[in-house]
Amino acid sequence: MISKTTINNIYEAARVEEVIGDFISLKKAGSNFKGLSPFSQEKTPSFMVSPAKQIWKDFSSGKGGNVVAFLMEHEGFSYPEALKYLGKKYNIEIEEFNKTPEEQIKFDLRESIFIALNFSYEYYRENLNNTDKGKSIGISYLNSRGFSEESIKKFGLGISFSEKKSFTDQAVKKGYDLSILEKSGLTIKEGKKGFDRFKNRIMFPIKSISGRVLGYGARIMKNSSKTAKYINSPESEVYQKSKVLYGLFESKSFIIKEDNCYLVEGYTDVIQLHQKGIKNVVSSSGTALSSNQIMLVKRLTENVTIIFDRDQAGINAALRGTDLLLEHGMNVKICKLHEGEDPDSLARKYSLDHIKDFITQNSLDFISFKASLLATEYENEPTKKAELINNIVKSISLIKDIIKRELYVQTCSKIMKISEDSIFETLFRIQNSNKNQFRNQPTQPLNIIKNHNSNEDSIDELYELEKKIITILILYGQKTETFNESLLIFSEKNDEITEKNKHVSSKVYEKIFLDLQQDEIEFANKEFRDLYNILMTEYQINGFVSIEKIVPSLSTKLSEIVSSIILQEEKHFLHKWDKKSIYVKLPSENVGVMVTETILSLRKLLVGKKIEFLQDSIKSKNNKGVLEDVMGYYQLRRIVSSKLNRVL
């Protein structure tokens, strides 16, 4: 965990206008800056940055907050990643605390590996771009494959030469330890000697979402039946291939902007599509798509279009990936390429408009895609047709959203010419089978601790509101809800600000985080503050919270709070009111309103406390400035109260 001192140092050093200015063009507007929204398509600037308050507001989308919130929204960073990005930008050493000696050794090892990999990155690029051998062999080869100079630089391509020890000897000469070079996957150690892992290959650096080199994909320049076309870095302390997507660092902002991610198989597929102008694209690098990779994409968009090779291996990979994407709640399409075509060749042959039209016209939902594979075979073969339908229904069963599932049932019924009742019956059997398998699995009991709250007649409103926010995060944090956001619209013509309401769809935890960040609200209760940080970290890293995993690591007090919250929700179901024809409206049925109401109530309460504090200071001394502040806060409380009444 990053120490509080380091976080404070980062916030003090970071300038919101400087950080945002790295991503979008800002122009001075009085004491503020303005620019075009990076979150929507617009012609008139509505994105405002306040250097004085160190906040930003996007009036077109309703998003806003501090510098960390911007990096999380725009770059898809988790909270710790955003802090580390700022630390690097402002040369602040990231000091972490509560490390055991073993953890410190591991941290030092990771940093040493990153430093060695960065050296290799510069070394291989230097070989390619600034040596006669690199230009004559490497650049010539890349140009023959259609790579431009801009693409070569953008993706940091390099070359390793045929000598056995050229890189290793140079690294050791520069002071890098041989064991670190081995652990980074760059060197193969034999006794006390080291030899280069990569020889005579084009080097494709594989980067993390924040741009740090993790490893390489290395391709031979002449195809040979005796030599593997690609050699990849072995897994290390920093590189796990199932947790990385090639091109994500270069593509992340475009994925957010387009709200769609193209998923391809190879390194060259990504680069060629980028070069053509399609930049919201990443690659699984020839490995089977994993849950960790999907979670990386899901932080940026829930829409994925798979464009794999048309050969059998590509089709099988697309089918496996589709089911895993559906299981994670993603919206999936599969683009059918022509026989012998791949994304690389598609990008090199055709214009940008042609490629876009082709992808649009040939992208199918998973039902149509699966049906198309056996279209000529199943029509007069009842057994094959039944197998195909069962396969499709299994995919439908992975979809958690009830409405989506029903729509896909209707689609399947039309395409396969089978009744919806038969499909629903099959779905029911599959889901029951899955439930039985789950019941038979050994589970660890949740440690429930009795709550010892006292003095129930006395209600601390601040405590209750903070507890309610924690409750919402635990129970509904990963839900997507529609919120009624108030947008302030400034008219330069009349110098007037008008309020406009807009419906914005967002994850509950994201809404809470950004609202509290915008108002700079910190929990007064220490336990709730600790729980909030734990829950937010889990959501921002994983996109969900596993109560079973976090409860054992909590203190007794925090475990008691979490258990109490879960049991409080369970009692709605234990009474079984619906069996008695008494229908109770559950909190889960109106989460959006509950979130808005709770945050507005907290704002109103805190403004009221601020008024009380200022009024006390007026009694002790006659201060006209303080009186003006009080009047301003009274006006703010009236606005919040008005909004709260509208929600209620």
For 307-335, how does the pLDDT look when each residue is reduced to its tens digit (9 = 90+)?
987 777 778 888 889 989 998 888 999 99
CATH code of the domain containing 121 = 3.90.980.10
Q: Summarize the confidence of residues 414-426 as an average pLDDT.
A: 86
Does 625 lie in the same domain as 540?
yes
Which two structure tokens, joined as six digits, stand for 573? 């179901």
For 97-112, how does the pLDDT look when each residue is reduced to its tens digit (9 = 90+)?
666 667 666 667 888 9
Does 162 lie in the same domain as 116?
yes
Model confidence at 196: pLDDT above 70: yes
Q: Residue 305 — pLDDT band, cuts 50, 70, 90?
A: very high
- Please report the sign of the dihedral spanned by the C-alpha atoms of residue 109, residue 115, residue 121, residue 123: negative
Of 60-74, 361-375, 483-497, the one with minimum mean pLDDT is 483-497
Indicate whether 416 belongs to any domain.
Answer: yes
Indicate whether 206 belongs to any domain.
Answer: yes
- Please report the sign of the dihedral spanned by the C-alpha atoms of residue 40, residue 41, residue 44, residue 45: positive
For 146-186, how does the pLDDT look when each residue is reduced to its tens digit (9 = 90+)?
999 999 999 999 999 999 999 999 999 999 999 999 999 99
pLDDT for 198: 96
Model confidence at 135: pLDDT above 80: yes
CATH code of the domain containing 257 = 3.40.1360.10
Which two structure tokens, joined as six digits, stand for 99? 């490390």
Indicate whether 636 belongs to any domain.
Answer: yes
3-state secondary structure of 363: strand
Does 485 lie in the same domain as 368?
no
Are the C-beta atoms of 161 and 133 separated by less than 8 Å? yes
Of 16-30, 76-90, 448-462, 487-501, the one with minimum mean pLDDT is 448-462
- Please report the sign of the dihedral spanned by the C-alpha atoms of residue 170, residue 174, residue 178, residue 181: negative
Chosen domain end from 438, 472, 491? 438
Which two structure tokens, joined as six digits, stand for 309? 């090779």
Query: Over the chain, what is the mean pLDDT?
Result: 80
Does 498 lie in the same domain as 568?
yes
Model confidence at 34: pLDDT above 70: yes
Model confidence at 612: pLDDT above 60: yes
For 582-601, how does the pLDDT look when each residue is reduced to its tens digit (9 = 90+)?
443 445 567 888 888 888 88
Does 84 lie in the same domain as 54?
yes
For 398-410, letters b (16+ CB in 10 Å) and e give bbeeeeebeebbe
Number of compact structural domains in the chain:
4
Does 142 lie in the same domain as 27?
no
Closest CA to 261 of 298, 225, 290: 298
Of 17-21, 91-95, 529-533, the one with minimum mean pLDDT is 91-95
Task: Please work out, in degrees rounded to the nearest 5, the angle formed at the alpha carbon of residue 561 by the alpha carbons of 559 and 565.
Answer: 115
Please give the Cα distance from 234 to 259 (Å, whole number): 33
HSE at residue 122, side-chain half, CA atoms within 13 A, is 8
Considering the entire predicted model, what is its pTM? Answer: 0.59
Q: Summarize the confidence of residues 41-45 as an average pLDDT.
A: 73
Residue 362, amino acid: N
Indicate whether 504 belongs to any domain.
Answer: yes
Indicate whether 590 belongs to any domain.
Answer: yes
Are the C-beta atoms of 265 and 283 separated by less than 8 Å? yes
pLDDT for 209: 79
Chosen domain end from 89, 117, 151? 89
For 247-294, how does the pLDDT look when each residue is reduced to its tens digit (9 = 90+)?
998 998 888 888 899 999 999 999 999 999 999 999 988 778 988 888
Indicate whether 328 belongs to any domain.
Answer: yes
Closest CA to 569 of 470, 452, 463: 470
Does 354 lie in the same domain as 276?
yes
Q: Where is pLDDT greater, at 73 or 500?
A: 73
Range(s) of the domain holding residue 56:
4-89
CATH code of the domain containing 29 = 3.90.580.10
3-state secondary structure of 334: strand
Q: Summarize the confidence of residues 327-353 as an average pLDDT.
A: 90
The overall longest dimension of the chain from CA atoms, in Å, is: 93
Distances (CA, A) of 464 to 30, 523, 602: 42, 11, 10
Chosen domain end from 239, 272, 307? 239
pLDDT for 628: 65
H/E stretch holding 473: helix 461-476
Q: Residue 619 — pLDDT band, cuts 50, 70, 90?
A: low
Q: How far apart are the first and last CA of the chain?
A: 39
